[in-house]
Each structure stands twice: as C-alpha cells, then as structure tokens.
Chains A and B, each alone.
Chain A
Amino acid sequence: MPVEAWLLLIAAVGLGLSLELAFYRARRRERRMDREGRPAPGADE
C-alpha cells in the first residue's frame, strides 16, 4: 500500500484513539491520586 494510504489509515485510527487514550489516562491518574489522598494535579492547594 502506498505511503500516503498508510498515513491516511494511521491518521484515521490515531486521531480519535489518541484523544480517547489521553482522556482515559488523565482520569485514571486523577482517581489514583484521589485514592492515595493526594490532591489531583492542578487542584487548589
């Protein structure tokens, strides 16, 4: 498959997936910090 077709496929899958993954990881990090009793990043101190 030509390079431009690969790039389109990677962009087609990667744009939405990376948005969701970034969100998912941020939420998990927040929950972990909540469990450990530490303030979430960016929370008022």
Chain B
Amino acid sequence: MTSATIIGVLVGYLAVLLAIGFWSARESGDMKGYYLAGKKLPAWVIAFSSNATGESAWLLLGLTGMGYAIGVHAFWVIMGEVLGVASAWVFVARPFKELTDRYDAITVPDYLTERFRDTHHVFRIISAVVILSMVMAYVAAQLTASGKAFDTFLGTGYTAGVWIGLAIVLFYTTVGGFKAVAYSDFLQGVLMLGCLVVLPIVAIPAAGGWSGVMSALNAADPNLLKPMGSFGLTVGGVASAFGFIAIGFAFLGSPQLLARFMAATGRREIEDGGIWAVLCVIGFDVGAVLAGMAGRVLVPGLADPETILPELSHMLFPAFFTGIFLVVVLAAIMSTVDSLLILASAVVVRDVVQNVFDPGADQKRLSLLGKSVTVVIGLVGIYLALTEQRMIFYFVLFAWSGIAAAFTPVVLCSLFWKRTTRAGAIAGMVVGFTTTVAWVLLFKERFWDLYEMIPGFAAGFAAIVIVSLVTEPDAEAVAELEAARASVGPLFRLPSRRLP
C-alpha cells in the first residue's frame, strides 16, 4: 500500500465534499434553507442520505464484526433494519410529511409543539436536553473514530486526525447547510453501498466459494450457522434476536432521520424514495454480514472482530482500493457527524433561541447564528474527543437508543392514535428516555443483556397510553390530524366491488 495513492484518493474525496459545500451555499441563507434545504430534496437523495445517517461507522466496522463473530445470528439485525426502513417509508413518512408541511415545521420539536398545541415550549426544552446531551457524545465518539482512521491509514497522529475530520465536516455543513449535508450523505451512502456489495463478492470466492465458506464456518463452530447462534432456543437467545431486530426500530422516529422526510420536495418524492431506501439498506446489511462471515474464514483468530473490514481490504484489494475503503469508513463517520451537528444546531437556534427567547429575530441573523452554533457544538465534540474518552464511551452506550426511545413512541402515537394528549406525549418522551438510560445502567446485565431500546419503547408507549387516557386531547388538533390523514389517503386502495 502506498501512502501517495491513499492520499490521492482521500484528497479527491475531500475536494468533492468541499465542492458540495460551495454548491449548496446559496440555499443556506434562511432557516428553512439552512436546516431543511428549502424542502427541495429529490427522492434518491433523501433515500440514500437517511440510510447513510442512520448507519454510521457501526455498519462498516460493527456489523461486519458481528458477521465475523456470530455468523447467521446477525441476520436478525438485517430483519430489523429492513423492516424498520420499509415501515418508516410506508407508514410514517407520508402523514409526517403532510403534517409538518401544514405546520410549516422545520424541526421535530416544532412538529410536536404544533401537533399538541404546546404553548409552554415543554417539547422544545425536553428535546433540547435529550438531543444536546446525546448528540455531543455521539459526535465526540465519531470524531474519535475519525482520529483513529486518519492515524491508522496515514499516520497523522490521533489529535491531528480528529481536527482534520471535524474541519472538513464543519466547512461543508456551515457553508452549505442541510443541502450540503444531504447531498454529501448521498455520495457517502453510494460509496458505502458500493464497498459492501463488492466486498463479499470478492471475499467469498477468495475463501473457497459459498460452500467452502459454509463448510469452514461449520468446522470452526457449528453455532455460526444457526439462527439462534450459541444461545440456542433459550430466553437469552430470543432476547438477543429481539434486541437485534429492535436496532431497526430507531428508523421509525429518530429526529435526524425524520428531517429527511420534512426536507423532501413533496409526497411523490416520499412515495418514490422508499424502494431506493429499502434496496440500499438490504445491500448495506447483507453485504456487511456476509463479508464478516467470509472474513472469518480468510482471517481466523482476530482479537478484535471489528477490524475485519480493514483486514479484508488489505488482503484482497490493491492500494487504490485500500484508499477507497479508508474513504468509505470516513464517509460513514462524516455522514453521521454532519447530520447530528445540524440537528443539534437546529434545536438550539430554532427551538430555543427563536421560539422561546426571540420570536421576531431576523431570518439571516438566525441562519448565521445556526452556523455559529454548528461550529461551537463541533468544538465541544472535539474537546470531549481529546479529553474525555471514557465519558464518551459511557454516553454512546445509550446515545442512539436514547434519542430513539425519547422520540419514536411519541411520533408514532402522534400520527396514528388521535387520543394522544399533550400530557401523554410529554410523559412518553421523559419515561422512554429515562427508562433507556436506567436500563443500561441498572438492569441490562441482569436481564439477558436485553437491548435497551425494547424496555425504552415499551415504557414510552405505556406512559403515553396511560396518561392520555386520563387527560383530554385538544379537539382542534384531533380535527387537524384527521384532515391530514384523510388527505394522505389509505396505504393500499383495494379494488371496489361492483354490483352486477
């Protein structure tokens, strides 16, 4: 592997990101432009960018590592993610888009505030606390990964790697806003998909073909080919399988993913984008797990299974492609960091500054403030990445599931259960989030390592239902929900039966 080749590939990729930043700059002059690309994104961009944002470096390093470590048992993750993405696009996206357009909402807290007629800004304050605390840790963790990637592949040193990664993301995010984030995520999603489709296609023949891989895995450990893995059909095995499926639940209501639906040009883009998103996530997940399984045959005995992707790229591809694989790992990191930075900036500027403290603020001043806040949040992330790695690890344990458990039950009930009340929704957010954190800290180890999103969602839904049943919904909000749902129409129209 030559450093010059890798640097060449990397510089080319970074130049494209910077160009996307400049190209998108015109859209970022006001709030809707900066945070939602003026609601003008086409279907294919929202499809790929939502998947790239949802997956992060975990897909490339974590899921390939799962394929390596547990084999067929990792297929449950594929089931959860494919079902989660398909359900989000089929069930959630259209009514959510319709309502957010009616409310002229820019953020998810905007939507919840209008949907539940929250004049006291309770949703905005809770959202700000949840999003800022979780996003800071998640951004810092991704920057840590960026520092390690630059250092491993180019020998920049960890600190320089962290700064380089952040500087590039901050540039295109602040200059181009959400449009730059979405289009760069599209590019990054395509790169990730290409890598994960090509990798098993090359690795499986190199490992002796399909039957050769299966025979070798069976000889190494027969549990690698069993759906319930080493657990067998036990409570622990079922809990593990459900936990893997639950990873995909986050696609139904995490605000960084719902922002894509809000930013679509119209309902038609939502209807057309779903099939791209589902095919993309199938390519991502099946490719990652099969690459990990083939990697177990090619590189047995790895101390850390999550290094299988770089190991395979070194073993199977020439230097140019090794550079591509570095770019793909960085793409996965950056596509998550940029979306989280703009999400956190939106909650500070739109939800707190504009709506709580200064409703009459000028759009250009707010957009400028949004860019400044994006930089500040990035700098806080870098401070944490350089000084507080232990704390980051601690928070990241429940960052993805904490955001999902705070928002998903509330968003789903707000769309599909008209009896949901403001008090019920607030209770659901607080209980869903705190249950997730409490589960990780106090109960997880004692209950078969059950993934925290399951108790978080269950408690969130239970709190919404119980509190809503003892309070009254706003009649005007219910009428508006019914009108919006009537406008969206049914999912599938069955052929009418005509009388002879």
Collect the chain B residues with CB atoms within 8 Å of residue A42's CB.
490, 493-496
Collect the chain A residues with CB atoms within 8 Å of residue B379's CB.
none
Q: Which of B78, B83, B271 contacts A27 (CB 8 A)?
A: B271
Q: How far is the CB of B231 from chain A (nearest CB, A)?
A: 14
Within 8 A of B (CB), among A1-45: 1-2, 4-5, 8-9, 11-13, 15-17, 19-24, 26-27, 30, 40-43, 45
B139 interfacial contact with A, CB 8 Å: no
B residues with a Cβ closer than 8 A to A are 72, 75-76, 78-79, 82-87, 89-90, 214, 225-227, 271-272, 274-275, 278-279, 282, 286, 490-496
Collect the chain A residues with CB atoms within 8 Å of residue B87's CB.
16, 19
Collect the chain A residues with CB atoms within 8 Å of residue B490's CB.
42
The docked-state distance in angstroms from the alpha carbon of A19 to that of B78 is: 15
**Contact yes or no, B226 A2, CB < 8 A:** yes
- Offer 11 A-B interface pairs, CB within 8 angstroms, sorted by A: A1-B214, A13-B282, A16-B85, A16-B86, A16-B282, A17-B86, A20-B89, A20-B90, A23-B89, A23-B274, A45-B496
> In terms of DSSP, what is the predominant structure of the interface of chain A?
helix
**Contact yes or no, B227 A4, CB < 8 A:** yes
The docked-state distance in angstroms from the alpha carbon of A15 to that of B226 is: 20
**Contact yes or no, A9 B225, CB < 8 A:** no
> With A5-B72, A8-B227 in contact, is A23–B82 under 8 Å at CB?
no
The docked-state distance in angstroms from the alpha carbon of A20 to that of B86 is: 6
Q: How far is the CB of A16 from chain B (nearest CB, A)?
A: 3
**Contact yes or no, B90 A5, CB < 8 A:** no
Closest to A18 in B: B86
**Contact yes or no, B225 A22, CB < 8 A:** no
**A19-B87, A19-B90 provided; 4 other pairs, C-beta below 8 A?**
A8-B75, A9-B286, A16-B282, A17-B86
Q: Which of A5, A13, A20 contacts B286 (CB 8 A)?
A: A13
Q: Which of B227, B272, B492 contacts A22 (CB 8 A)?
A: B492
> With A20-B86, A45-B496 in contact, is A15–B275 under 8 Å at CB?
no
The docked-state distance in angstroms from the alpha carbon of A5 to that of B226 is: 6
Q: Which of A1, A16, A19 has the most CB of B within 10 A?
A: A16
Q: How far is the CB of A38 from chain B (nearest CB, A)?
A: 12
Closest to A5 in B: B72
**Contact yes or no, A13 B494, CB < 8 A:** no
Q: Which of A20, A21, A40, A41 has the most CB of B within 10 A?
A: A20
> With A20-B275, A22-B492, A23-B492 in contact, is A15–B227 under 8 Å at CB?
no
**Contact yes or no, B82 A12, CB < 8 A:** yes
Closest to B245 in A: A12
**Contact yes or no, B491 A23, CB < 8 A:** yes
The docked-state distance in angstroms from the alpha carbon of A39 to that of B272 is: 21
Q: Which of A1, A12, A21 contacts B79 (CB 8 A)?
A: A12
The docked-state distance in angstroms from the alpha carbon of A43 to that of B272 is: 22
Collect the chain B residues with CB atoms within 8 Å of residue A21's CB.
275
Collect the chain B residues with CB atoms within 8 Å of residue A27's CB.
271
Collect the chain A residues with CB atoms within 8 Å of residue B214's CB.
1
